[in-house]
Structure 1
Amino acid sequence: MLLLRPPFTTATDSSVSKLISVCLCPQSIYTTTEEIKGNGIVTPPVPSSLNYFAHIHHLNLDVGAMDPLQPVSQENWRSEQMYFLSAEFSQLRRSHHLARTYSNSLYHQRELVNMPRQVLLYREVTWLFANPVLEQLQSLTIPLSDIKRYTNIVCMMKSLEHIRYLLDEIWTHPVIRNSDGAEEKDVRMEEILSLAVQLVKDHVRLFPRRLRMVSSCNWDKRTEHSRQMIPEDVQLEIFRMLPPVQRMESLTGDNWMRVAAHPEATDLQFVETLLNNTPAEQWFGTSYDYRQLLQRCRTLKNLDIPPLGQGSFAWAVQEKRDHEGRIITNKGQGLAAWEEDLLPYGLVPLENFTIKEQLKPLTDEVDDVAFAFSQTLATITVTTLGTDTEMRRIQLGRGWVDLPMLTQLEIQSNFARLDLHPELLSHCPNVTSVKLSDRTYGYQCQDIVPCQAAHLAHVETLALTGWSALTFHQATLHSAKRLTTLAVTLELDSEDGCFIPPPSELKWSYGIEDDNRVGTEFQEPPAILRPQWTWDWYLPCLTDLYLTSEFAYCIQFQFLIGCPSLRSLALDMHSVDNDCLIMIPEDLVAPSIWGDPTSPPARIVVPSLRFLSLRGRWIMDDAYMLDIMTGMFPNLEDWVLDGWEDITLRGLIAVLRTQQPTSHYKTVFTSLALPSEQEEEEFGVLRKTRITGHEVLLPVTVYFYDIPYGEIHTVYRLTTGV
């Protein structure tokens, strides 16, 4: 055990000695041992002949450990506070350049006192331990506020390999400006950084190739307003004095400047992760060929970058083609038994690819990556940006080949329409998660070119929003037996809701004869028919289903028989055109396709459903609502009826009380009008603000929207008796 006790002969002045004495209540420095006797009596510590300091090679103290120890008595606490508020401590703070920097940035008296105290403690305790063992230290954290003390003894740090600069000063914050509004240079900061560079320069001169790493850290990562960083030009100056990194395994923002200092000499062949979301022109300057950087990473598995421009992965495409050519040649000559499903030797084994638009737009990066690394890619994540004043098309999927290892495909397009190749999903036979989205709202059915049906036997999550939903081939669902989440939606306008084409146009696009067509004029079918949704899929694992717009409008409830595990169903078709769906008794039964063709239709029952949301003009009367809620969904707990027509408050209350006294309903959201006082008394409903606590209530809570499709609501509860 290491004990601290005064006097501190290594402290620089009496004020610092008193600071440590007040905070840590020490008596002297000893390396001691203590022994606990069997009778529970603790013997006092005695000096030991062992020199524990000889074993210190890495001195990087935890900043959090600088919090003062709790005082052992109220008297000690008072004396401690009096010291920190004294003129002596204020003078100490000013003499160590801490008065302006912290008082300008911290707003509470306690922080104003504690931060300088902790900073000074860290400086002195670090020096206390470092000074006797400087020659043996291999890594050392140096507070930048105390850098001058270390620059004078660089010659003693012959074993030092890693310097970590602690940014314990707050420099210019907020930005200092002169009378003209221009930023003023922080003289203190420039002085400190100059000394930091000089320390590295002197060490490199005295001990060539010994120093391997220089890093930095903040005093408190939680305090955003006081976080500092060493400017990039200073980092580059320091790293250029260090030797290039060997066997680098990860290249991210934390060590990017080290590569920028030696872009050609750095060993990149073992890099497995490359992550940099800044524009490529800022990586190493506009003159550097950053594509060459990627090609040198021969073991790369994880890549997260912005678009690099047309042809940025042409090297990978060419390598793939050359390798395939060698396979064909060797097979023809019978030289070797090549297995095409094995990882080709020498190709980059990329597994995870993420690309997000920044300044440059997306070009051919995704398609080239999908082709070049088809045998190893496991995830593809694409995010495109834009503005609400433009709507461009992004074409993806051209030139793709089968990706047998791909499990996750996510493409999010903001203000750009996803124009997917019809065979894109067919090349992803083992994918488990597909999320494709853009912000398509209005459209014409004649513009939709459907994709081909894909065999997705392993897919578990399928979320399609926008153009990908409109072009999706519904026959794909016949193979999706493991599907748990299905969302087929379009962009929802905050005011107008969904866009749904006129029913006649919908039928025309699917090649369905419209019995309500006015006149006898013949209408040519569309050039490309959309595949008609059959609603006859069997999805035994499906738990969550979310449909909007035309997909909710066209739903056939018979489909739910094939979803025995369904727990959540959300259908949203509210639109500015007030499209409606009139519920009829036939909607409650399933045709014979689900069983024996000779048997009569069976009633639709979804016993697993717990959440139901129907938004839009669903038209039904009270009796029908009672039938659907208690018959089709007998175990429902939470439901939303927003925009329903022809139902009444009486009908809603009848449904809620049907299960009494063992009601399983928990929450109900409705756009029905608020109950009048007479209805409150008649139906036994109480506004939540009027509940006294003496009533016996049902577990259900009813939320009344102030307006349809709104968010503001008034809360009611139901009593057990009327």
Structure 2
Amino acid sequence: MSTSFPLPPECLHMVICHLAVESDRRSLASLLCVNKYLCSATLPVMYADPFRLRLFSVFSMEEPEKPFSLIKLLSLIKSLLLSLPEGQTVTDLLRAAYLHNASVSTSTDDKATAHQEQEAPPSIPATVATMTPIPYYSFLTHVEFEVHSFSEGIFDTPRFPSSSAIRDYLEKNGHVERYTWRDITGHLDYYNRSEIIYQTVSRDLRRDLTWALCVNGAERIQRLVIPISDISRYLAIVGRLQVLSYVTFLLDSDLKPTLFFGQQFEEGDREALELRQGEREGHMEEMILFVQEHCQRFPNTLTQGQCITDMFTTEEWPKEVHDRLFKSLPLLHKPQFIDNTNWGQFFAGAQDIDLSAVKFIRTRLIKPEEPVFDQVIEQVEPFLHRCRALEDVQISSSGEDAFRWAVDERKQFEREIEDGRATPSRRPLVPLRQLHISFDYDPSSGGLFDDTVFAFQETLENIFISISRTVEQNSTQSLEFSIGDNNNSNNYQSYWKLPQLSRLAVATGHIFLRVHPKFLQRCTQVMHISLVDMRWEYSLDQIDHWESAKLLRLESLTLEGTAAISFHPDTLKYALELQKLHLQMVQDEDDFTCFIPPVEELDAIIKGESTTDSGGSDSVDDGKTPSLLAPLARRPVWTWDWELPKLTDMTLIGEHAYRFQFKMLDGTPNLINLSLSIASTTARHQRTIHLKELTKPGSQQQQQQTHDGEEIYQEQQDLEYIFVPTLKHLCLFGSWRITTHVLQTLFSRVAPEISNLVMSSCLGHDFSEWVDATKQYLHGLDVAELQMDVSEEEMADAGLVEPMTGERMCGYRSVGHWLKETPTGRMLETPAWYHVLGT
């Protein structure tokens, strides 16, 4: 313990390790400057895995500029290379790339010597200017340059021949021609030779740097990525890698060239290809020998291994090589996770591995085209029930009965409680918190969902279910995904609830999503809901309407398809935390129209909504529409008068937009984005926005007169309009009829702060009136878009001009028009852009 810093070394080490885990580089750097004691304790932790610390924040808010972070990465590599023992392993290529000021010893007499063999590497000049007194390399425990190393810029050298240092090195040593002809594609594809050279240089840099950092401190290396083409050197030092616990073998090049139309192998190409194939097979044999020898010398030290490919490689590892590697490794010892890093090793010994400590299983993204989860179940046995600490499951195509075992455990536990043999506090069930399942092959009817929520109801926090859109709806049979045990087919013994559920997302594609009417009532703490299917047309009497729920913590609600027309609006009475509300039907991909029920049906609903009874509407039977009102009596009432003080984003598409009442905006004082679309497939749905709709509820109505069929308004100064000062983005799609006076009132009194305006197919005003209204009242307008057939003459008459080429190049927007004269009251220095799209 230091007398100047009285903290036990163990505690100090824990503090520093925590800073490293959190990538708090500023604090770590500060510790280096306190005193020698803290510096000596910090350096081993900071440089154990330094590239993770650097790469973690390449795109952080702290360092948004990548070039600045890249400079730091290159500086780190330079410091590590300069700290290596004199005359050891630093090649000319490394000098040219990272040590530009160091002397480069080139050998032009022996150009035939292959660079990748590196048996007699040149030395660094022993000068004070090129040496650093601190052996940073000796602290390394992780040397892992994988695919991300290219994208983050460590080996992203300037493409040949733009870098003078790299160019001089390649030209003086004859590597340009060697790099080109070493890859058969290089002389078959002349135009891509520069790209081939770039890739080869990058790979050699990675090989050389990995070896230089590993060989000088092999006794400390715990995690290592070995390029398969360089395995021979590592096999020679396997006895020094005594603490290596995780190894990754990297397939770092392609063998077979890409042949374009009309191309053929030249003379000698097939022999060269067979020779390279033989070399590759030899490297893979050495890889297996490396693992076997390490496991024999240091039993139970090397616990995990995997095979991956780099970003330039299109070929895959042979499956038999994968299998041999995993069989050479010891069984996983009480793993806490199963994912792409150890899946193959788990698969090789699934029956014999102790899975009691597994907390999460993530196989969904290993290989989407292969149902790897099902392979274990089919070839070995079901295993989820053996994972007693399971908290997180992310799998694909698990089958409907994947959690039947959990249901049985739950039922047994409930029977024991009834018999007095157990108490809820001693519940021995799996504490599953997150479930993410995608059905990529066979559709699901919802049985797995119900099993899961029943079995893990006390602990579930996040549920994500998706069914591939490639699963088309059967033309002769209506497929449904039911959640909430609609049919009570499982005979569950308890009325379950989900008190911890925070996120619920279900996307069923072309399979109709049916939700139990009381399901949301069971999710009292849910914050985010997304329920989506691809239902297109529907009849109003076919919908099972949900019951209202008190979701006091709800922040975002996205409902599309069946869920949107099943939703009970009274739920919004209690959603004071709601920030995002999206209710929509499926839109056509070509013209962005959607199905809206016939106007007469919707008009009948509106007429019947004169009651405040949440269970339905009092039908107004005038003898004319009894057949329409009768089946709609139980349809929930949309009052559009909710107080949603935190709502910032609202999108309504289809029926909800057609029935929307603008008085709702009086209860959304913080709304920023509003999008309403009534563009229907029949083109029969038209809405007229009257001035009275923009006044606050209870305010004195505007007096108006009619002359020759047009309304003439008499302005009243004391009239109170709805005021939404935060509204920045307004989109109106479809046949909205808005007269000029209403348009002016909307922009001047209701939402004067609009900066982005989109209006498509709107009626009731001409182009010039629309431009004048935006010019006079929207002083902060940035972009305005209108879908209307407008000629250049009409644009000129409205005061719009197309900017000069130079003016367009200076801005970030390259098309459109702007006003010829700056409007009075304009608040922004940049002009507003007007984009007019023909219909």
Alignment TM class, shorter chain as reference: 0.7 to 0.9
Report if aligned partners of 2:579, 2:649 keep a CA contact under 8 Å in 1.
yes
- 1:270 alignment partner AA: A
Correspondence for 2:729 among 587, 606, 611: 611
Most deviating of 384-393 and 115-124? 115-124
Within 1, Cα distance between the matches of 2:158 and 2:322? 36
What SS does the aligned partner of 1:669 have?
Answer: strand
Please show how residues 362-373 of structure 1 align to structure 2 within 5 Å. 362-363=444-445, 364-373=447-456
> Hey, what does 1:195 align to over in structure 2?
286
What SS does the aligned partner of 1:236 have?
Answer: helix
Correspondence for 2:634 among 516, 526, 529: 529
> Hey, what does 2:249 align to over in structure 1?
165
- 2:339 alignment partner AA: T
Deviation per CA, 1:281-325: give whole Å up to 9, x if none: 6532623223xx111111111111123223221111122222333
By how many angstroms is 1:568 displaced?
1.9
> Hey, what does 1:237 align to over in structure 2?
324
Report if aligned partners of 1:535, 1:558 keep a CA contact under 8 Å in 2.
yes
Please show how residues 258-337 of structure 1 align to structure 2 within 5 Å. 258-277=345-364, 278-279=370-371, 282-284=374-376, 286-290=378-382, 293-330=383-420
Within 1, Cα distance between the matches of 2:191 and 2:720? 72
2:437 aligned with 1:355: yes
Within 1, Cα distance between the matches of 2:657 and 2:316? 53
- 2:388 alignment partner AA: R
Please show how residues 580-595 of structure 1 align to structure 2 within 5 Å. 580-592=686-698
Within 1, Cα distance between the matches of 2:325 and 2:440? 29
Please show how residues 536-685 of structure 1 align to structure 2 within 5 Å. 536-575=641-680, 576-592=682-698, 602-659=720-777, 663-675=779-791, 677=793, 679-680=794-795, 682-685=797-800
Within 2, Cα distance between the matches of 1:619 and 1:507? 17
By how many angstroms is 1:674 displaced?
1.5
> Hey, what does 2:832 align to over in structure 1?
700
What SS does the aligned partner of 1:586 have?
Answer: helix
2:595 aligned with 1:504: no
C-alpha change, 1:152 and 1:531, in structure 2 (3 Å) is closer
Within 2, Cα distance between the matches of 1:347 and 1:533? 43
> Hey, what does 2:25 align to over in structure 1?
none
Report if aligned partners of 2:307, 2:322 keep a CA contact under 8 Å in 1.
no
Within 1, Cα distance between the matches of 2:837 and 2:180? 60
What SS does the aligned partner of 2:379 have?
Answer: coil
Report if aligned partners of 1:449, 1:528 keep a CA contact under 8 Å in 2.
no
2:229 aligned with 1:145: yes
Deviation per CA, 1:441-498: give whole Å up to 9, x if none: 2111111121111111110101111110111111111111111111111111233712
- 2:390 alignment partner AA: L
Within 1, Cα distance between the matches of 2:788 and 2:438? 44
Report if aligned partners of 1:232, 1:257 keep a CA contact under 8 Å in 2.
no
Within 2, Cα distance between the matches of 1:498 and 1:52? 63
Within 1, Cα distance between the matches of 2:628 and 2:250? 77
Correspondence for 1:381 among 464, 472, 475: 464
Within 1, Cα distance between the matches of 2:584 and 2:546? 16
Correspondence for 2:585 among 463, 469, 490: 490
Please show how residues 424-443 of structure 1 align to structure 2 within 5 Å. 424-443=519-538
> Hey, what does 1:710 align to over in structure 2?
none
> Hey, what does 1:214 align to over in structure 2?
305
Report if aligned partners of 1:511, 1:525 keep a CA contact under 8 Å in 2.
no
C-alpha change, 1:188 and 1:359, in structure 2 (3 Å) is farther
Deviation per CA, 1:237-291: give whole Å up to 9, x if none: 222232211131221122100111110222222211101124256532623223x
Within 2, Cα distance between the matches of 1:375 and 1:426? 15
Report if aligned partners of 1:448, 1:530 keep a CA contact under 8 Å in 2.
no
The two structures have a TM-score, normalised by structure 2, of 0.68
- 2:252 alignment partner AA: D
By how many angstroms is 1:696 displaced?
4.1
- 2:732 alignment partner AA: L
- 1:419 alignment partner AA: R
C-alpha change, 1:379 and 1:588, in structure 2 (3 Å) is same
- 1:382 alignment partner AA: I
C-alpha change, 1:482 and 1:115, in structure 2 (3 Å) is closer
C-alpha change, 1:113 and 1:5, in structure 2 (3 Å) is farther
Within 1, Cα distance between the matches of 2:180 and 2:85? 26
Gaps of 5+ in 2: 1-82, 92-108, 266-272, 365-369, 489-494, 609-617, 701-717, 809-818, 824-830
C-alpha change, 1:697 and 1:356, in structure 2 (3 Å) is same
The two structures have a TM-score, normalised by structure 1, of 0.78
By how many angstroms is 1:558 displaced?
1.6
More strand by share: 1
What SS does the aligned partner of 1:243 have?
Answer: coil
- 1:638 alignment partner AA: N
- 2:249 alignment partner AA: Y
Correspondence for 1:451 among 509, 523, 546: 546
What SS does the aligned partner of 2:505 have?
Answer: strand
Deviation per CA, 1:418-458: give whole Å up to 9, x if none: 11111111111111111111111211111112111111111
C-alpha change, 1:626 and 1:526, in structure 2 (3 Å) is same
- 1:427 alignment partner AA: R
Within 2, Cα distance between the matches of 1:51 and 1:686? 66
Larger radius of gyration: 1
Within 1, Cα distance between the matches of 2:387 and 2:241? 35
What SS does the aligned partner of 1:365 have?
Answer: helix
Within 2, Cα distance between the matches of 1:656 and 1:439? 37
Deviation per CA, 1:617-639: give whole Å up to 9, x if none: 12232223222332222333322
C-alpha change, 1:407 and 1:691, in structure 2 (3 Å) is same
Report if aligned partners of 1:3, 1:28 keep a CA contact under 8 Å in 2.
no
Within 2, Cα distance between the matches of 1:706 and 1:104? 48
> Hey, what does 2:802 align to over in structure 1?
687
What SS does the aligned partner of 1:462 have?
Answer: strand
Within 1, Cα distance between the matches of 2:632 and 2:685? 27
Within 1, Cα distance between the matches of 2:135 and 2:692? 90
Report how many residues are paired.
659
Within 2, Cα distance between the matches of 1:567 and 1:8? 58
Gaps of 5+ in 1: 35-41, 595-599, 708-722
2:174 aligned with 1:85: yes
Report if aligned partners of 2:373, 2:395 keep a CA contact under 8 Å in 1.
no
